[in-house]
Amino acid sequence: MNLPAPDQRQALAALLQNILSAVEDLLLTGLAAATEKTQQTLAVSFQAASRHQLLRLGSTLRVAIEELGRFTRNDPAFSRRRFSFFLNRAWMLASGMTKALEQNDANRWNRLTWRAGGRTIESVDVVTLGVMKRVVPNAFAAFEFRLRTLGDAGTLKDGTSLVWSNVFPLKAGTDIPAEAYLHLPLPQKFKAAEMLDARVVTLGPVTVTEDSRINLLQDTRLHQHPEPFTDWQRFLHWDKQAALHRLESYTPGPFDLEVELQEEITLFDWELGEAEQTDRGQLTLLPLITDTAVCYCPAGTSDEFSGLRDTLHTLRKKKKKPPLYGVLHYEMCRFMFQPLTLYGAAGPQPLMLAREKFSQAALVKALNFT
Amino acid sequence: MEQELEQIVHCLQQLQAEFEDLAVGGLRNLGPEHLPLLHSLCEQLDAIGARHTGSRLQTLATAIERDDKNAASALMQAQAGLRLFERILTTETMKKNLRRMIDLERTNS
């Protein structure tokens, strides 16, 4: 992406200025006194940013606006941290993009509006190692599948780590577990749940972005292999040398999200320490202690994490604990670890997906958005 | 060293919470009553060597004292400075931790 065409620059400069003014007004008055005009400016700016394909700015504004909405509705899910972080990020992006336009600085513009490009892979065999779930009630349920390739596929080498995201809008007032949405047929004529059967699946054609995200195309199809996959051990480790190498070649910047520098790791011979409350009681951290490290597991205080908390507490009493696979990131000088799957004798056991039954009829009803 | 790092992280967490309170409550409403804490955090940041972040915090405190509308952009810049400092400190600390773990595993094997 180069600098915008001259005939678009004036409109973009005005849009960015509106965002800066709205954010600054909000900061001066506070959320309780936020005017309707300020809220409207942010909402309109989000739409305009998306129209101009400024997706990074648009998605940042979207999260800030969602949090503002939660505050206005007295929603207990409102997070000061999330609001403050995304508002700051929106301001920083708008401010940097304004300077890039003023100074004709194409490099800066490109850095701030960067989107990962993708390449097409005709067909790839993958297994799912774990799934991360995030639910925002009345808004969306997001699932992030952590995949590994089996065998080379195009430019992808055997054992490459890939991420596939699946987001479902949630209708207000429905009472269906988020996991039920994984059983809905996708436009590609398969269900996301078919990726959870501990079997190899062949996907293709797909695009794979530079940051290893897999995107489905309209004609992507899934073929599930009949035999169960059992060779999980080859993927279960914590490659500290590779993690160190990635850290050494990383240059921190103010736009970075902590989770952008993630490692997929497995903990062996771990013990569960005493829970810590943090982020003003909104977050429970469970220390997972190994002989060389302490990793802190964010286990929320909400129902969303209850299954994870219960499983870890049940395992506390066991002498020999099964390997724990998940994703690790670095935050406030700590290892933060989100466990996704237990690899016991019976094979993978997802930790973030509830096993409760749901009614197909209720799911169909929930899909009726009109 | 461990204790010193804990103190630094505590100071950064306090400052982050302070910025969150100001962003939610509003600089004009909450700013003046938060000034003593902001000044104290400035001193702590100077003491731990985070002078750049400290100087941005000082700019914010001065703007609040003057009821200057630039306090909003000063808050945004101070917050970005804090974030960058935390990222640098965290990556350096984690590099040390990973090196120590690799050495320990080599010794044990």
DSSP letters of A241-307?
A: HHHHHHHHT----TT--GGGS-EEEEE-S-EE---EEETTTTEEEEEEE-SS-EEEEE--SSGGGHH
Q: Confirm whether A340 is domain-assigned.
A: yes
Among residues A46, A81, A113, the one where a domain terminates is: A113
Q: Count of residues for chain B?
A: 109
Inform me whether the C-beta atom of residue B23 falls under 8 Å from chain A C-beta atoms. yes
Whether residue A370 is predicted with pLDDT greater than 50 in this model: the reply is: no
Q: Which helix (H) or strand (E) holds A345?
A: none
Identify the domain boundary among A79, A113, A147. Answer: A113
First vs last Cα of chain A: how many Å apart?
38
How close is the nearest chain B Cα to the Cα of A255, in Å? Answer: 8
pLDDT at B57: 95
Residue A206 lies in a domain: yes
Q: Classify residue A163: in a domain, yes or no.
A: yes
What pLDDT is recorded for position A280? 65
With respect to residue A141, please indicate whether it lies within any of the assigned structural domains. yes
Average pLDDT over residues A71-91: 90
Residues A220 and A296 reside in one and the same domain: no
A193 assigned to some structural domain: yes
Same domain, A175 and A74: no
Whole-number pLDDT of residue A254? 81
A159 and A101 share one domain: no
B5: contact with A, CB 8 A cutoff: yes
CB contact under 8 A, B90 and A330: yes
CATH number of the domain residue A256 falls in: 2.40.50
Chain B residues with CB-CB distance to A95 below 8 A: 73, 76
pLDDT score at A366: 67
Tens digits of per-residue pLDDT, B41-56? Answer: 999 999 988 889 999 9
Domain ends where: A81, A113, A145? A113
* A35 occurs within a structural domain: yes
The residue segments making up the domain with residue A289 are: 233-350
- The helix (H) or strand (E) run that includes residue A206 is strand A199-209
Q: Are residues A101 and A156 in the same domain?
A: no
Quick one: A143 and A72 in the same domain? no
Q: At what angle do helices B71-108 and A240-248 cross, to 10 degrees?
A: 150
- Domain assignment of residue A14, yes or no: yes
Q: Are residues A227 and A249 in the same domain?
A: no
What mean pLDDT value characterizes chain B? 93
Instruction: Examine residue A305 and state whether it is found in any structural domain, yes or no.
Output: yes
CA distance A22 to A16: 10
B60-86 exposure pattern, b = at least 16 Cβ within 10 A, e = fewer: bbebbeeeeeebbbbbbbbbbbbbbbb
Instruction: Give CA–CA dist A208/A330, Å, rounded.
Output: 25
Q: What is the mean pLDDT of residues A112-120?
A: 84
Task: Identify the sign of the CA torsion B52, B57, B62, B67.
Answer: positive
- Same structural domain, A42 and A131: no
Decide if B89 touches A, using CB distance below 8 A: yes
> Domain total for chain A?
3
A240: amino acid identity, one letter? K
Q: What would the pLDDT profile of A318-328 be if each residue is shown by its tens digit?
A: 888 999 999 99
pLDDT digits (tens, 9 = 90+) for A16-50: 999 999 999 999 999 998 877 888 888 889 888 88
Could you tell me if A263 and A199 lie in one domain?
no
Nearest-CA distance from A63 to chain B in Å? 15
Residues A47 and A11 grouped into a single domain: yes
B40 in contact with A at a CB cutoff of 8 Å?
Answer: no
Q: Which residues of A touch B84 (CB under 8 A)?
A: 252-254
Domain match, A171 and A192 both? yes
Q: Are residues A86 and A157 in the same domain?
A: no
Cα–Cα distances (Å) from A333 to A253, B50, B94, B95, B102, in that order, read 16, 16, 6, 10, 18
ipTM over 0.90: yes
pTM of the entire structure? 0.89
What is each CA distance from A254 to A61, A244, A271, in whole angstroms? Answer: 17, 21, 35
Average pLDDT over residues A134-140: 77
Same domain, A127 and A20: no
